Structure 1
């Protein structure tokens, strides 16, 4: 379902994939090759959601905003299944693990990984190039160069998967 809300309209590049069971409401801007998978809810009813190029939001995830915090997700980001992304900023080439929760005003640095099931509390800043985990999330180590490269490769894999799914719709 794709719908306007409060005079706010979704905007998709024509290369994007939005699964037929995803719900996109209000001002949700998707750049080239971004994808919203099955059961995703992206609700930009009172503020903006921006999803960068090559970014994938996997099945069952929820993306929402706060009145004073848009949600900005950079380029080539992977958001794992059933994550909650709320009023935060995720920089380029980050990976958000399955079931992770990122709250209002938090910032996830580029080329960082938030481990599955982690909670990043309001206003928390996770620096670039690290692994953070736990509830509340804490930095546990720096990522290796291979781990940083694999974040981008994961996003690129999903660009290919999205093209296949788009053909079948």
Structure 2
């Protein structure tokens, strides 16, 4: 028997499945305006979230563990063709992906990008916004560049290799807040997220689906209106802990170690913040960037690359982008909190109905 993914209606629209799933791993979530084709395989803690736009996926789709599909609010949907395999820890965001595509582990494909048919991406590739990826090639790097033409049938073989890899079998450990935690009543913690240890979360902050936050012996502090998006990992292994300021956005599939992140920052999709990093106020860390241990990211700058380096001063448009995302996520959080509250009584009633002799 295949376990159903965690699923929610959004704006009155429920996820639609063309046929039974071939697999849904523990903690997999399909949310909102999602259309999935036949023979979809969803890995452990994978997330497909269609709130501010729709997600449409074709037949024979494989989504690896801790990978994310999402949209750009009111601007770009996420459209994926037939016979596409996505590896573990990847993010396919607000873009169009053709058919017969292999997207290996840790790859990030960003807003408005178009990936043509018959493409393969090596692990850790990054496709930046608005780029067009021509068919028939293997791509690698950040930014992703063609390495060589694909051999006949190679994309199919690579898809098969991705799909055949062992997957985690268990969901996240149950959340357990430690003494000294303070979580404002307006905070949204998604139903498939896990938070362990001491958490201080201020008003209207949000912790999204499949997030794995472990404060260890320290604390995780999240400022007012800050969002920590799906499949982000936060690990505290020293006494410093993690502190994220107010009005900041942490993208999908980010890894954060003991560090300090200031106010009004945007931490891009698939990026890594190394131990001891200090991100000052109003910094944009680009998608897939990696800081160095102890690095200081100065206020008012865009940083990119691995290791992260100053790219350009932040202009008004980039600062406005952070404010826009923060506002959208405050709205999303209110919506999903209400949806989850409504779903819990229905699930309890269903469970009661399935237990012989349970009170009616």
Question: TM bucket by the smaller chain?
Answer: over 0.9
Q: Is the 8 A contact 1:3 1:10 kept in 2?
A: no
Give SS of 1:148's match.
helix
Q: Equivalent residue for 2:220? A: 49
1:91 aligned residue? 262
1:163 matched to 2:338? The reply is no
Cα deviation, residue 109, structure 1:
1.7
**How many Å separate the matches in 2 of 1:95 and 1:56?**
10
Segments of 5+ residues of structure 1 without an aligned counterpart are none
Higher Cα Rg, which structure: 2
Where in structure 2 are there 5+ consecutive unaligned residues? 1-173, 341-360
Deviations 1:113-133 (A, max 9, x none): 101101011100000111101
Pairing partner for 2:318 from 142, 147, 164 = 147
State whether residues 96 and 113 of structure 1, in contact with CA within 8 Å, keep that contact through their aligned partners in structure 2: yes
Aligned residues: 167
Contact 1:78/1:154 (<8 A) preserved = yes
Instruction: Provide the secondary structure at the position in 1 that maps to 2:230.
Output: coil
Matched, 1:17 2:188: yes
Residues 1-169 of structure 1 aligned to structure 2 (within 5 Å): 1-4=174-177, 8=179, 10-169=181-340
CA drift at 1:12: 0.9
Indicate the structure whose relative CO is greater, using CA pairs within 8 Å and at least 6 residues apart: 1
Equivalent pair of 2:265/2:284 in contact (CA under 8 Å)? yes
- 2 CA distance for matches of 1:28 and 1:79? 16
Deviation beyond 4 Å, 4+ runs, structure 1: none
* CA RMSD between the two structures: 1.2
